[in-house]
């Protein structure tokens, strides 16, 4: 039984991941809007309450001023002194300041400075709320003058207005830092898995491989096997296994790059692949010069080329052309363009082809391009990207490497 069928398809897994991001984003937006909306309701309720309080304060003032001979004067005085949070300034009808409450005037200031500060406060309050009138009445109850009570939001209310924004700002910074930390630890973990798995594979292949090599030497002594070419075939397969082992062991360590003739290297890969693919698929190599050199690690770089060519073959079905062009760019760059005449990559898929687990193939793992990107970017400090792709016409992948003057 093929065990792969018991796993969720890589494609499903991949999509789950992106959906999760959108869900988290949507939930954060809903929470933000909800929190701002709710605080707004609270702020408005508190505003109404403060307005009522200032009105009561003004009525108490009015009462105290008009009814100087009253037994219950202490009630209104009590109300006036109880306002210890809302800033108010009381002016006469000609706008001169009479008294003030809960305004941040420092006692040690000069009179001039205090006056200026209070004037500015009044201007400020005028802009926020219309003042509350106090009517001054004579004995017969006729209004002969007016006073005004200017006010603004209490410190508590002001704080509450900015609170949700401050809170969201802090949360956003915290979220951003957590995201970075999470991303960093995830990348570190992925690196450990790549390296660990590769080293383990190379290590496990190593032992049977060296004993196989010894067995081939034993078989070489048998003239019958030798004559039938069996030993040579075995030798080829062992060599290929050695290449595979070397690839895994190199990806698990820090490979050193050396200057290589890219034209020869590409031809070597093509020479290996051409007999192994459909004869109706032609592989062609073009180079402006046969001496273009670049810094590469051959076992890993060949792996990348093989992956790209295999994808090209998969994209074409039974017949077509794979063209590999080797070019020199400015700033001493070397470009390797791998073009196929296959089914192309849709705009939607384009952003995803290099992501691990993304595949459109029934039997694909979606790791080929991820590996290629890792090898080119991490080990070669180069670039790999889809240069162009047209549905049903073909795709061109480009690899960019650091060239060597030759
Ligand atoms: N030359 C190409 N032409 C069309 N599609 C491609 C080509 N190369 C890659 N792709 C797309 O990118 C996907 C991921 O490729 P890869 O990482 O190699 O994984 P896999 O080959 O296992 O699917 C493929 O499934 C395919 O949809
Ligand atoms: Mg592939």
CATH classification of the domain holding 282: 3.30.565.10
Residue nearest to atom 13 of ligand 1 (CA): 359
CA of 9 to the centre of ligand 2 (A): 15
CA of 311 to the centre of ligand 1 (A): 5
- CB of 366 sitting under 6 A from ligand 1: yes
Is residue 52, in this structure, part of any structural domain at all?
yes
- Confidence at residue 358, expressed as pLDDT on a 0 to 100 scale: 92
- Confidence at residue 4, expressed as pLDDT on a 0 to 100 scale: 42
Is residue 342, in this structure, part of any structural domain at all?
yes
- Confidence at residue 390, expressed as pLDDT on a 0 to 100 scale: 94
The domain boundary, picked from 93, 127, 153, lies at 153
Residue nearest to atom 7 of ligand 1 (CA): 311
Residue nearest to atom 5 of ligand 1 (CA): 345
Nearest ligand by distance to the CA of 384: 1
Mutation choice for ligand 1 from 369, 372, 398, 399, CB with most ligand atoms inside 8 A: 369
- Confidence at residue 80, expressed as pLDDT on a 0 to 100 scale: 83
pTM score: 0.69
Render pLDDT for 51-64 as a digit per residue (tens, 0 to 9): 999 999 999 888 88
- CB of 352 sitting under 6 A from ligand 1: no
Residue 370: which of 382, 360, 357 has the closest Cα? 357
- Confidence at residue 224, expressed as pLDDT on a 0 to 100 scale: 84
Is residue 319, in this structure, part of any structural domain at all?
yes
The alpha carbon of residue 49 and the mean position of all alpha carbons in its chain are separated, in whole angstroms, by 44
For the cut 50, the answer to whether the pLDDT of residue 152 exceeds it is yes
Residue 319: enclosing H or E segment and its boundaries? Answer: none
Are the beta carbons of 296 and 265 closer than 8 angstroms?
yes
Beta strands of 52-178 (E only): which ranges? 88-92, 97-101, 132-137, 143-151
For the cut 60, the answer to whether the pLDDT of residue 116 exceeds it is yes
- Confidence at residue 7, expressed as pLDDT on a 0 to 100 scale: 46
Residue 304: which of 253, 332, 269 has the closest Cα? 269
Query: Who wins on pLDDT, 75 or 198?
Result: 198
- Confidence at residue 2, expressed as pLDDT on a 0 to 100 scale: 42
Is residue 263, in this structure, part of any structural domain at all?
yes
Are 400 and 264 members of one domain? Answer: yes
| Domain enclosing residue 384, as ranges | 255-404
CA of 366 to the centre of ligand 2 (A): 6
Mean pLDDT of 327-342: 93
Is residue 55, in this structure, part of any structural domain at all?
yes
**Cα separation, 59 vs 49, whole angstroms:** 15
Is residue 2, in this structure, part of any structural domain at all?
no
What's the CATH code of the domain at 94? 3.30.450
For the cut 70, the answer to whether the pLDDT of residue 44 exceeds it is yes
CA of 366 to the centre of ligand 1 (A): 7
Give the CA radius of gyration of the chain: 40
Burial 11-31 (b: 16+ CB within 10 A, else e): beebeeeeeeeeeeeeeeeee
Nearest ligand by distance to the CA of 397: 1
The domain boundary, picked from 153, 186, 208, lies at 153
For the cut 60, the answer to whether the pLDDT of residue 373 exceeds it is yes
CA of 378 to the centre of ligand 1 (A): 20
- CB of 357 sitting under 6 A from ligand 1: no
The domain boundary, picked from 153, 188, 210, lies at 153
For residue 354, name the pLDDT band (cuts at 50, 70, 90).
Answer: very high
- CB of 245 sitting under 6 A from ligand 1: no
Are 140 and 265 members of one domain? Answer: no
For the cut 90, the answer to whether the pLDDT of residue 398 exceeds it is yes
Are the beta carbons of 399 and 335 closer than 8 angstroms?
yes
Mean pLDDT of 67-83: 78
For residue 14, name the pLDDT band (cuts at 50, 70, 90).
Answer: low
For residue 69, name the pLDDT band (cuts at 50, 70, 90).
Answer: low
CA of 365 to the centre of ligand 1 (A): 10
- CB of 316 sitting under 6 A from ligand 1: no
**Cα separation, 142 vs 145, whole angstroms:** 9
Are 266 and 395 members of one domain? Answer: yes
Is residue 398, in this structure, part of any structural domain at all?
yes
Task: Count up the domains in the chain and report the number.
Answer: 2
Are 147 and 264 members of one domain? Answer: no
- Confidence at residue 12, expressed as pLDDT on a 0 to 100 scale: 54
Are the beta carbons of 389 and 397 closer than 8 angstroms?
no
| Residue 363 per-residue DSSP state | T
Residue 310: which of 262, 261, 371 has the closest Cα? 371
Q: Which residues contact 124 (CB under 8 A, 6 or more apart)?
A: 152
For residue 6, name the pLDDT band (cuts at 50, 70, 90).
Answer: very low
CA of 217 to the centre of ligand 2 (A): 36
Query: Who wins on pLDDT, 324 or 8?
Result: 324
Is residue 289, in this structure, part of any structural domain at all?
yes
For the cut 70, the answer to whether the pLDDT of residue 211 exceeds it is yes
| Residue 71 per-residue DSSP state | T
DSSP letters of 257-292?
PEEEEHHHHHHHHHHHHGGGS-TTEEEEEEES-TT-
**Cα separation, 281 vs 322, whole angstroms:** 7
The alpha carbon of residue 5 and the mean position of all alpha carbons in its chain are separated, in whole angstroms, by 33
Residue nearest to atom 23 of ligand 1 (CA): 359
Query: Who wins on pLDDT, 6 or 134?
Result: 134
Q: Which residues contact 259 (CB under 8 A, 6 or more apart)?
A: 293, 294, 295, 404, 406
- CB of 61 sitting under 6 A from ligand 1: no
CA of 404 to the centre of ligand 2 (A): 29
Mutation choice for ligand 1 from 306, 308, 352, 359, CB with most ligand atoms inside 8 A: 359
């Amino acid at each position: 039984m093929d065990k792969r069928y018991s796993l969720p398809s890589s494609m499903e897994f991949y999509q789950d991941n992106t959906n999760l991001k959108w869900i988290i984003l949507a939930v954060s937006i809903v929470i933000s809007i909800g929190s701002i909306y709710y605080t707004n309701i609270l702020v408005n309720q508190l505003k109404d309450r403060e307005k009522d309080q200032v009105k009561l304060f003004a009525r108490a003032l009015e009462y105290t001023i008009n009814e100087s001979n009253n037994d219950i004067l202490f009630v209104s005085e009590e109300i006036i002194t109880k306002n210890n949070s809302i800033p108010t300034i009381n002016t006469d009808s000609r706008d001169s300041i009479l008294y003030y409450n809960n305004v941040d005037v420092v006692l040690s200031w000069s009179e001039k400075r205090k006056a200026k500060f209070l004037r500015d406060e009044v201007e400020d309050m005028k802009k926020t709320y219309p003042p509350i009138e106090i009517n001054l009445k004579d004995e017969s109850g006729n209004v002969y003058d007016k006073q005004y009570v200017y006010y603004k939001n209490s410190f508590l209310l002001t704080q509450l207005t900015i609170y949700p924004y401050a809170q969201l700002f802090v949360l956003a910074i915290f979220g951003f830092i957590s995201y970075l930390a999470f991303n960093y630890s995830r990348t570190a973990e992925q690196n450990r898995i790549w390296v660990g798995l590769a080293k383990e594979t190379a290590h496990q292949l190593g032992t049977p491989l060296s004993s196989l090599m010894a067995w081939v030497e034993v078989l070489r002594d048998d003239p019958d096997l030798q004559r039938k070419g069996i030993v040579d075939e075995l030798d080829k397969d062992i060599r290929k296994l050695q290449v595979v082992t070397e690839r895994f062991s190199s990806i698990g360590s820090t490979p050193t790059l050396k200057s290589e003739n890219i034209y020869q290297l590409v031809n070597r890969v093509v020479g290996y692949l051409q007999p192994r693919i459909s004869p109706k698929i032609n592989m062609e190599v073009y180079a402006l010069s046969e001496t273009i050199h670049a810094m590469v690690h051959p076992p890993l770089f060949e792996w990348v080329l093989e992956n790209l060519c295999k994808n090209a073959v998969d994209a074409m079905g039974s017949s077509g052309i794979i063209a590999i062009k080797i070019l020199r760019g400015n700033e001493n760059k070397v470009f390797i363009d791998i073009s196929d005449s296959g089914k192309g990559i849709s705009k939607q898929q384009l952003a995803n082809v290099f992501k691990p687990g993304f595949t459109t193939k029934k039997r694909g793992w979606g790791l080929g391009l991820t590996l290629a990107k890792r090898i080119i970017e991490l080990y070669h400090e180069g670039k790999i990207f889809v240069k162009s792709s047209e549905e049903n016409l073909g795709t061109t992948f480009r690899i960019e490497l650091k060239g060597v003057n030759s």
